[in-house]
Structure 1
Amino acid sequence: MSLGTLVENDKRYAEAFKMFREASDQENKMKTWILQDFSKLIKSTFLLKIEQNIVEMMGIGSGFGQMDMHLFDVIGNINHKINELVVEPNVVEIEKFKSSIASSVEYSNVTLDILIVSVFGKKMFGNQWRYFPTGRDIEEIIDGLGLNYMTDVINSKLDISECVDGNSDNGKLLLDFITHADYFSERASPELEKAIFEALDSNEYCFKEDVLHG
């Protein structure tokens, strides 16, 4: 049975993304970085170089916009208008984002331009099919444009404990998001599934805890 693309199933993508957020400490790490490091950086350097009162942003895979809104909070506190181009494959998530902006007075200075992309391109990455760009892919594009930029790496951990239990619906959703394949557990060959688990087990940012079932 061939693997489907998760981004083509809006409902399951949203469910898988929710499971990923619960299993990872990524959001907490990013929020801390935004409120501490980014806040200091943008006040001391970035905004001082903007001649007009408008900040142009681009969000890659913004989801429902939680991290973007933390960025808006920091930038907005310095009284700048914000225009953001959002690249996001999931219609369900982007509608949540748009609704949050439209219903919040504090984001009246924000304008969103939405670009929905179903698949960025498919290629083999290690033992995984990859349907989305990495930070390095984006850096290569910026390099090609000859733009100046700064990078910062935020390391986060992912709890893959549920993935070990073949009967766990949460584990199946998490595997879907990790592989960006629709119903991966049901459709993947034993060889591919084994390769994915070997890749996860060897990843320093993934960990497993004992999962108890009554």
Structure 2
Amino acid sequence: MAAEAKQTCYEGSDVESFQFYLKHSGEHEAILQCVHNILPGLLKRTGTEKSSLDVLGVGSGGGEVDTQMLTLLQSTFPAAPITAEIVEGSYQLTDNFKALVAKTTNLQKIPFVWHLMNSEEYEKQVKAKADVKKFDFIHMIQMIYYVDNLANTIKFYHSLLKSNGRLMIIIEASNSGWDILWKTYIKELQSDIITEYRSAGEVIACLRSLGLKYEEHPIPNSLDITECFDPSSQTGQHLLNFITAKDFYQSFTPEIRAGMLDLLRKCSTEKDGRVFFNSDVTCILVYA
């Protein structure tokens, strides 16, 4: 899970932990593969007869996925000017995003507006304005865990869509390993940042209750957690710390640690002596 949405989240060592996870998880690669498969057709539908395209990224982190999507937008609509607004609570990750834009030639043609704040702060800012900007494409990748009110958040961003626009929500799949772990041990894992764990199941139930039209796209993914079962492995410790969003060996009793490790193994498959944790993700496209 990406923990970008809170202002106090993902600075300093937390950024290193997040980047360590991304390096080992292959999650961004899996998401990008899905994006490249579905986005061109989606954007052609949303971009039909549009003279320009306005994009909003919420909880965009270091911009690794955003830059790929914007590049895809440019190639799909070479004649249409694109604007991009980014809502991100982490100063360090925003700096990483800006550095990525600076070294990507085609993105230097896109005007960026940076909102260094979390989702709730952005919502308050927008609602205080008389003239509200609308967007053709809004994406929220691995950040819906961190908002205070799921229904209100979805309603707000849905209200910012232009006619024929799309809201993309990417989140851990229902019954994935993450979903099972966090719902089994929510009392032990919850914190000021995550008080309620959500997966695609909660998002879809919310969309149905709001009467919004959507479509789902599965994103298969797995995480090699073999090292997690070796207490002497630094890699294993780093992964366990990220998976639980805590210091695994300091925060939990031996009994809780043993239970979590047993659950991790049950939510995994084994191949060639390696243990692969179910990290399936779901892409949900919400219609305007």
TM bucket by the smaller chain?
Answer: 0.7 to 0.9
**Is 1:113 paired with 2:114?**
yes
Name the counterpart of 2:185.
127
**Amino acid corresponding to residue 186 of structure 1 in structure 2:** Q
**What displacement does 1:177 show?**
1.3
Cα-Cα RMSD: 3.2
What is the CA distance between 1:73 and its match in structure 2? Answer: 0.7
C-alpha displacement of 1:86: 2.8
Which residue does 2:82 correspond to in 1?
Answer: 81
The Cα shift of 1:27 comes to: 2.1
Q: 2:267 aligns with which of 193, 203, 206?
A: 203
- Structure 2 residue runs of 5 or longer lacking an equivalent are 1-7, 120-145, 149-181, 276-288
Sort the Cα spacing of 1:73 and 1:59 in 2 relative to 1 into closer, same or farther, 3 A: same
Q: What amino acid sits opposite 1:156 in the alignment?
A: N
Residue 96 (structure 1) aligned with residue 96 (structure 2)? yes
Greater strand proportion: 2
Counterpart amino acid of 1:168? Answer: S
Q: Distance in 1 between matches of 2:219 and 2:111?
A: 26
Quickly say closer, same or farther: Cα 1:117–1:70, change in 2 above 3 A. Answer: same
For residue 67 of structure 1, what is the amino acid of its counterpart? Answer: V
TM-score (norm 1): 0.74
Show the 5 A alignment for 1:1-214. Answer: 8=9, 10-43=11-44, 45-48=45-48, 51=50, 53-60=52-59, 62-77=60-75, 78=77, 79-88=80-89, 90-107=90-107, 108-117=109-118, 120=147, 125-128=183-186, 129-130=189-190, 131=194, 133-139=198-204, 147-181=212-246, 183-204=247-268, 209=274
| Structure 1 position 205, deviation (Å) | 6.9
Deviation readout 1:90-134 (Å, 9 max, x if unpaired) = 43222201232245442231424335449546xx62224252654
Q: Percent identity among equivalent residues?
A: 19
- The amino acid that maps onto 1:158 is L
* Structure 1 ranges of 4+ moved more than 6 A: 205-208
Q: 1:9 to 1:186 in 2, by over 3 A?
A: farther
Which deviations, in whole Å up to 9, do the C-alpha atoms of 1:42-88 show, x marking residues without a partner? 22x2222x75513233334x321111111111112213413334345
CA distance in 2, matches of 1:205, 1:101: 38
Note if contact 2:53-2:81 (Cα within 8 Å) is conserved in structure 1: yes
Cα deviation digits, residues 152-176 of structure 1 (max 9, x gap): 2212111111211212222111112
2-structure distance, mates of 1:66, 1:117 = 19
Distance 1:141 1:54, change over 3 A: farther
Letter in 1 for 2:71: D
- Unmatched segments (≥5 aa) in structure 1: 1-6
Q: Give the paired residue count.
A: 197
